Amino acid sequence: MIAVIGAGPAGLSAAVTAAKHGESVILIDSSSRLGGQYWRHLPRAWNDENKYHYNFQKAQELFNEVLENSLITWYSNAHVWQGEKRDKTFHLFVIRNGVEEVVLAEKVILATGAYDRALPFLGWTNPGVMTPGGAQSMLKSHGVVVGNRVVIAGTGPFLLPVAAGLIDAGAKVVGLFEANKPWRWILNLHGLLLNPAKIGEAIYYFGKLRRAQVKLEYGKRVESAEAGFVTVDGNRIACDAVAVGWGFVPDLSLAGIFGAKLKVAKDGTTVVDVDTHQETSVEGLFAAGESTGIGGSSLSIIEGRIAASGKGKFARFRAQVFARGLQRVYPVSDAWQSLVKPETILCRCEEVSLDDVISAVEDLGAEDARTAKLFTRAGMGLCQGRMCARNVGEIVACHLSLEVTDSERINYSQRPLAGPISLGELGDGIGKEF
Ligand SMILES: Cc1cc2nc3c(=O)[nH]c(=O)nc-3n(C[C@H](O)[C@H](O)[C@H](O)COP(=O)(O)OP(=O)(O)OC[C@H]3O[C@@H](n4cnc5c(N)ncnc54)[C@H](O)[C@@H]3O)c2cc1C
């Protein structure tokens, strides 16, 4: 039996490919719907107009195959919170409807995806301030438009589909502020040449922004947010909501729990280290999709296929060239730190401010994110540092004029649990084994 964890583009593609090769597959996902971050909202939003947002034909093909192939068991609303390998068998501990169950498998494919990277600025924890993924998730999953007038900011190509989605839903996007300059695309010309379909996508999105008269400005950042306004480059802009995002952070929890080797990419992002077959350093444990590096849904689909069958390596090469080029086009420089004020909250779970962290460094001698965490509780809340650990690490290093080391980056990406579990659920023991 093969267990695939995550039913996004990578996990769907892995499950379908494995089943086509005659393998029995259990596809486990914490969500109630198939599709992961990109397709979870389908089929409600399908129409030809938004084909670039969704690549819905591919989604439909994968959904149908998962639902119709008797070799695939789709296990929804099931969160893998722990796992271990005993001899040659993987034991996956799953919480489903408040009951813990264990799934046994000879091969596991991790396809756990990524989440938005948020950077702190004054007011970022106020109501109405969110990540682009948050704004899009409310729209796609619940049909909620986050505001009538919305500002979108940060960096990366993902800002474009979020703006397009909000425009389609009737919101006025009063400004899109991209922190990087467009000339940087010359750093990814070879990526574009290898993936010409991306040019069509760009034309589609920019056409949509132009028709909706969206003010598109480069080299600008949101400095602060307060009720009804954001400040960008000294100008106050009236809006109901602001969505600010700085790319994505791979979800490495389960890879770390299984002891798979992690590595640090050139842009400082920690990812799962895989070989050409998408296998991790743990035999039988594979990883595909954004947990191995941010690259978009097409690359995730290809990697899922390779993890299940070993086939598709040239297509992966092309998509990886484009993805690596994106890191050069949309870097996140340390400039964000100059916008963090002493009173700015860095860890929203434990309400730890910059002032608290700096005093841990200057008065108590903290030299890295881990020590700063022990002194201030930054990263000890419900999200276990998923949001703030990287930011706190970079702030501490910058304050001491040091570089964050790779081992520090890897350390703060590791978590002992891949999700919260109550003492009651733990105490009740295993309800079912299969
Ligand atoms: C919020 C958000 C919105 C996005 N919107 C767009 C968009 O509009 N257009 C676009 O081109 N790209 C978008 N992206 C990028 C796109 O989602 C990714 O490129 C693509 O979905 C990656 O596919 P994946 O299979 O690697 O992971 P995902 O699609 O992220 O799927 C991972 C799945 O794993 C499940 N999972 C994780 N951990 C566990 C666990 N422990 N137990 C059980 N299940 C688990 C999650 O519930 C999720 O369903 C978005 C990304 C994010 C984070």
User: Residue 86 Cα, ligand 1 centroid: separation in angstroms?
Assistant: 29
Strands (E), 71-202: 72-75, 78-86, 89-96, 99-105, 107-110, 114-116, 129-130, 149-155, 172-178
pLDDT-above-90 percentage for the chain: 80
pLDDT at 424: 85
Those residues whose C-beta lies under 8 Å from the C-beta of residue 217, and which sit 6 or more positions away, are: 175, 176, 177, 178, 232
Ligand 1 center to 247 CA (angstroms): 13
pLDDT tier for residue 40 given thresholds of 50, 70 and 90: confident
376 C-alpha to center of ligand 1: Å?
31
Q: What is the pLDDT of residue 433?
A: 65
Give the mean pLDDT of 50-76: 85
Please report the pLDDT score of residue 54 as a whole number. 59
pLDDT (average), residues 53-81: 90
* Listed range (135-149, 210-224, 264-278) with the worst mean pLDDT: 135-149
The CA-based diameter of the chain, rounded to the nearest angstrom, is 62
List of residues 6+ apart from 38 with CB closer than 8 A:
8, 9, 54, 297
Banded pLDDT at 423 (limits 50, 70, 90)? confident
Total Cβ atoms within 10 A of residue 307: 32
What is the pTM for the complete model shown?
0.93
Residue 53: the pLDDT is 54
> Regarding predicted confidence, which is higher, 415 or 107?
107
**C-alpha 211 – ligand 1 centre gap (Å):** 29
Residue 412 structure tokens: 């703060």
**Which residue has the least CA distance to atom 39 on ligand 1?**
112
Cα 231 to Cα 215: distance, rounded to the nearest angstrom: 15
Model confidence pLDDT, tens digit, residues 362-388: 999 998 888 999 999 999 998 889 999
Average pLDDT over residues 114-143: 93
Residue nearest atom 24 of ligand 1, based on CA coordinates: 113
**43 falls in which pLDDT band (50, 70, 90)?**
low
Q: Other CB atoms closer than 10 Å to residue 292's CB: what's the count?
A: 29
Asked if 85 and 328 count as a contact pair (C-beta separation under 8 A), the reply is: no
Domains and CATH numbers, the chain: 2-115+249-327 (3.50.50.60), 118-246 (3.50.50.60), 340-411 (1.10.10.1100)
Best residue among 27, 37, 52 to mutate for probing ligand 1's pocket (most ligand atoms within 8 Å of CB) is 37
Mean local confidence (pLDDT), 326-347 = 93
Please state, in angstroms and rounded to a whole number, the distance separating the CA atoms of residues 168 and 161. 10
Q: What does the pLDDT average to over 293-321?
A: 94
Rounded mean pLDDT, 252-271:
95
Number of H helices, E strands in the chain: 16, 23
Closest atom, ligand 1, to C-alpha of 165 = 8
> In the prediction, which pLDDT does 42 show?
61
Determine the 3-state secondary structure of 123 from DSSP.
coil
Helices (H), ranges, 176-226:
189-194, 197-211
Q: Whose CA is nearest to atom 3 of ligand 1?
A: 133
Tokens of 95: 């919480």
CA of 253 to the centre of ligand 1 (A): 14
pLDDT at 396 over 60: yes
- Give the C-alpha separation, 412 to 406, whole Å: 10
Distance CA 180, CA 170 (A): 27
Q: 5-9, 217-221, 363-367, 425-429: which range is least confident on average?
A: 425-429
Q: Compute the average pLDDT of residues 68-87.
A: 96
For a pocket test of ligand 1, which of 55, 112, 305 has the largest count of ligand atoms closer than 8 A to its C-beta? 112
Q: Average pLDDT, whole number, for the chain?
A: 92
- Reply yes or no on whether the pLDDT at 316 is more than 90: yes
Provide the CA 149 distance to its chain's centre, in angstroms: 25
What's the rounded mean pLDDT across residues 247-266? 96
pLDDT of residue 367: 87
Q: Coil, helix or strand for 105? A: strand
**Rounded Cα gap, residues 209 and 284, in angstroms:** 46
- Contact in structure between 105 and 92 (CB atoms under 8 Å): yes
Distance CA 114, CA 242 (A): 21
SS3 235: strand
> In ligand 1, which atom is closest to the CA atom of 81?
41
Q: What is the mean pLDDT of residues 60-75?
A: 95
Local confidence band at 269 (pLDDT 50, 70, 90 cut-offs): very high
What pLDDT does residue 48 have? 52
Three-state secondary-structure class, residue 432: strand
Give me ligand 1 centre to Cα 113, in Å.
5
Confidence of residue 294 (pLDDT cuts 50, 70, 90): very high
φ, ψ for residue 319 (rounded to 5)?
A: -70, -30
DSSP annotation string for 292-324: G---HHHHHHHHHHHHHHS--HHHHHHHHHHHH
Better-scored residue on pLDDT, 257 or 49: 257
Would you say 33 and 67 are in contact if contact means Cβ atoms under 8 Å apart? no
Angle in degrees, CA 40, 117, 82, rounded to 5:
65
**What's the rounded mean pLDDT across residues 318-325?**
94
CA of 300 to the centre of ligand 1 (A): 10
- Give residue 334's pLDDT: 86
Quickly state the pLDDT bin for 47 (edges 50, 70, 90).
Answer: low
CA 48 – CA 147 distance, rounded (Å): 25
Please report, as a single letter, which amino acid is at residue 417: L
Distance of CA 429 to the CA centre of its chain: 31
The atom number, within ligand 1, closest to the CA of 294 reads 19
pLDDT of res. 434: 66
